[in-house]
Amino acid sequence: MKKLHLICNSHIDPVWMWDWEEGLGEAVSTFYQAEQFCREFDYIFNHNEAILYEFVEEKDPALFAAIREQIRAGKWHVMGGWYLQPDCNLPSGEAFVRQIALGRRYFQEKFGVRPTTAVNFDSFGHSVGLVQILKKCGYDSYLFCRPMPEMLDLPARQFVWVGKDGSRIKAARAEDETIYCSGYGTALADVRRKASVYDTEEIGVALWGVGNHGGLPSRKDLQDVGDYIREADIQVLHSTPEQFFADIDPAEEYRGSLQPCLIGAYTSMQRIKQKHIELENKLFTTEKLCAIAALNGLYQKDYEAFTAAEKRLAAMEFHDVLSGTCTQAGENSCLRLADAALDRLQGEFDRAFFALCGQFEKAGEGEFPVFLFNPQPYAREAICETEFLVPKALISDTEQYTVTAYQDGREIPTQCIKEESNINYDRRKRIAYRCRLAPLGITQVVFRVAVTPKQTEPAQAAEQIVFSDSRKTVRISRRTGLMESFIVDGKELLSGGAFRPVLYDDNADPWGWNMDRIGKNPTPFALSDCRRGPFAGLKNVAVLENGDVLTEVESFFESGSDFVRVSYKLWRDEPFADVHMDVFHNEQQKAVKVEIPTALTGAFFGQIPFATDRFAKDGREITAQRFVGAEDGENALVLYNDCTNGFSMDGNVLRATLLRGAAYCAHPIEDRPLIERNRFIPYIEQGRNVFSFRLAYDGRSTLENRGNEFVNKPYSLCYFPHGDGMTAKDTLTIDDPAVSLAAFYQTEAGYTLRLLNNNETETETCVALCGKTASLHLGKFEAKTVVFDGETFTETPLWV
């Protein structure tokens, strides 16, 4: 006999077409009515999202207590168990672990429950990197709705989802025009329709209840569905996700991401996406620094500060926020949340940083001590930049301050470059220098200042700018402003002018409904003649800096009312170049991409949560994280970034999508106009936007760490300590360059380490901490959590 599991739920977006206050207020009303219905009707109410329960607990303790009683009675089921329903493509693997851990801890503490089925009904696609995360966080199954059947063919509605590391969980897609809900007053018809699709499966699932702004079925709906359960010629029951998955045993396997789905969301609302990346990195880097300071007895952790930051990060990941499909009010409130978290984290960072630096002895006469924090668990050579202030201003047309840097008494390569301020005298200095960084700790460099004759401006090449060092040769054309050649270790990696901005026809829809690629009718930006706009009166291609550490070249482009500045930083004796782009975007319904014609024919790949995936080279938009590239045997041409998630590759041409032409929350409805044209409508990305990339030729096994180095550059500060010379002794090191440190933080039980082998081959690594060592085996694409209690290393579930 066929069986249908009915899962009654109320989809509540805490922020979307409304801001947080309205969404949270709706949660209170919905929870109140759901609890009342639990008293009146024989049904089970399912709900997830700890953020909503937290709000009810704070604002209505009596209701919260009543819900606890219904959970104990089995009438109310805690579903999913995450903090909220996030975007399931863009957060890092570590951010997903925090999202789950927040929910896990909350529901365990408040209700003593730990769901085993994860649910994300409304998220716009799901990365295959989630499978390992779910499995190692205690889940055995996953229930989702998007992408719908017309977006992605699956082998079956119910299948085994296999992760990149080999992890396996049951998964099921709920398919229907009303997906996770049913119409108010029409639940019976909706449930009947949802039951009818299970013509081949013996066991089916139907999601019903009212959404999208909270609310519940009506009393009539509950009565009608109750009658249907009693009279149906199949077995129908009020159920939970766990009960449904316990009943099924899927035979089909699926090994890919649940994508594409609404591809416009990969790049809409870049301010939110970039702020999320910034907050992710600030949280994880601050935790590492504070853990080192605590190990050395120099810091006492403020646990509440870090929990607050985790919750703000999780809130930014809500699927209508990180996807860029909310209103401007939602965008602004989430930016405020992130900035508040960043400010508080900076306070914790400063406490630990100054405690560690303060142990160094006083500076000598004429010395400017600079301290750097390396967030990577291995020593390395790095090019760093630091600004500091010379005590006395030098106002002169013939003289300037020159800075020399020393490490351990030896002079290191140094170059003065343009500082951030624009005061027209010489006092504030910005220095680029190459130094050796200690692993996951503090390094000291000393600056000395002298007055020397003023240097002349860098020479300007007539036709092309050629930069050559021991690792690479780069050629930038004065005629095009593009990087025409990038040769590393004798190998040409480009097949044409790279980093050309291109304008595409787009539309106002931030989701990207019915799209598999962003934009049509590409129009390359032209090299600017610098007669108008922000570049008026400037030279369209110019050498800005040229010295012992780097050469910087600046090019200007324009198209219509859009303007783009491209800065190439060519670091001496490194297999990479950094590219910074300022995009002044004033067009509407136009997308901006940057293209890189490669000389390689290898597979197109990119970083996903706790893994790397390969993609088709057919121009379709894909989502990836901090790196994408083209394989070349054991090496790869890699584009690292800290700014975007949308990419494509067509043949040998790699493209990064920078900006969309979308308006706030413009959702297609049948054939109606996307937006009203009888008034001014603000578009999301208009104004100045900034993007940073690194083009490199690296070993494939090291890409995770190389990407971390780009995104988490060493923090540096000129600071005058007054200690006795006793510096920190205890730190963490990892000896395998293929293994990265995703997280390292202090807990009540000790110190938690999360390690990642983002490679297809297994590896062994040695971890050393406080004089203790552990040899760990990591399988392909394996993320592993280890807790150190001061004496021993113990492997634990991923989320602990």
pLDDT above 90: residue 363: yes
**What does the pLDDT read at residue 201?**
82
**What does the pLDDT read at residue 725?**
83
Q: Phi-psi region for residue 687, left (φ > 0), alpha (ψ -120 to 50) or beta?
A: left
Token reading at 333 = 């409130």
Residue with tokens 């203790």: 772
pLDDT above 90: residue 640: yes
Element (H, E) at 343: helix 328-357
Bridge partners (DSSP) listed for residue 149: none
pLDDT above 90: residue 211: no
DSSP, residue by residue, 392-422:
EEE--SSEEEEEEEEETTEEE-EEEE--S--
**What does the pLDDT read at residue 152?**
97
Bridge partners (DSSP) listed for residue 800: none
Q: In whole angstroms, give the CA distance from residue 626 to residue 284.
A: 15
Token reading at 20 = 């947080």
Q: In whole angstroms, give the CA distance from residue 708 to residue 376.
A: 8
CB-neighbour burial class of residue 227 (10 A; exposed 0-12, middle 13-18, buried 19+): exposed
**What does the pLDDT read at residue 607?**
98
Q: How many beta carbons lie within 10 A of that of residue 360, not counting itself?
A: 21
Distances (CA, A) of 30 to 34, 48, 210, 639: 6, 13, 10, 46
Q: In whole angstroms, give the CA distance from residue 84 to residue 337.
A: 16
Token reading at 215 = 């609310």
- Give the model's confidence band at 1: pLDDT under 50 very low, under 70 low, under 90 confident, else very high: low
For the chain, percent of residues with pLDDT exceeding 90? 94
First to last CA, the chain: 42
Q: In whole angstroms, give the CA distance from residue 579 to residue 641.
A: 10
C-alpha torsion sign, points 293, 294, 297, 303? positive
Nearest Cα to 746, choosing from 103, 278, 299? Answer: 299
Nearest Cα to 16, choosing from 331, 423, 419? Answer: 331
Helical H segments across 256-327, by residue range: 270-295, 303-316
Q: How many beta carbons lie within 10 A of that of residue 298, not counting itself?
A: 17
Using omega within 30 degrees of 0 as the cis cutoff, is the peptide bond preceding 260 cis?
yes
Mean pLDDT for the stretch of residues 179-183: 92
Q: In whole angstroms, give the CA distance from residue 756 to residue 783.
A: 4
**What does the pLDDT read at residue 197?**
87
What's 146's DSSP letter? -
Q: Which residue has the higher pLDDT, 726 or 487?
A: 487
Q: What is the pLDDT of residues 237-266, one digit of tens each?
A: 999 999 999 999 999 999 999 999 999 999
Bridge partners (DSSP) listed for residue 641: 693
Judge whether 348 and 305 are in contact, CB under 8 Å. yes
Distance of CA 67 to the CA centre of its chain: 35
pTM listed for this prediction: 0.97
Three-class DSSP category at 288 = helix
Distances (CA, A) of 273 to 233, 619, 625: 50, 23, 11
Q: What is the pLDDT of residues 322-358, one digit of tens each?
A: 999 999 999 999 999 999 999 999 999 999 999 999 9
Mean pLDDT for the stretch of residues 28-57: 97
Range of lowest pLDDT (28-42, 283-297, 717-731) = 717-731
What's 701's DSSP letter? G
Q: How many beta carbons lie within 10 A of that of residue 411, not counting itself?
A: 10
Q: What is the pLDDT of residues 572-629, one digit of tens each?
A: 999 999 999 999 999 999 999 999 999 999 999 999 999 999 999 999 999 999 999 9
pLDDT above 80: residue 727: no
Single-letter residue type at 729: K
Judge whether 9 and 241 are in contact, CB under 8 Å. no
Q: In whole angstroms, give the CA distance from residue 445 to residue 192.
A: 72
Judge whether 780 and 757 are in contact, CB under 8 Å. yes
Token reading at 316 = 């930014």
Judge whether 581 and 501 are in contact, CB under 8 Å. yes
pLDDT above 80: residue 451: yes
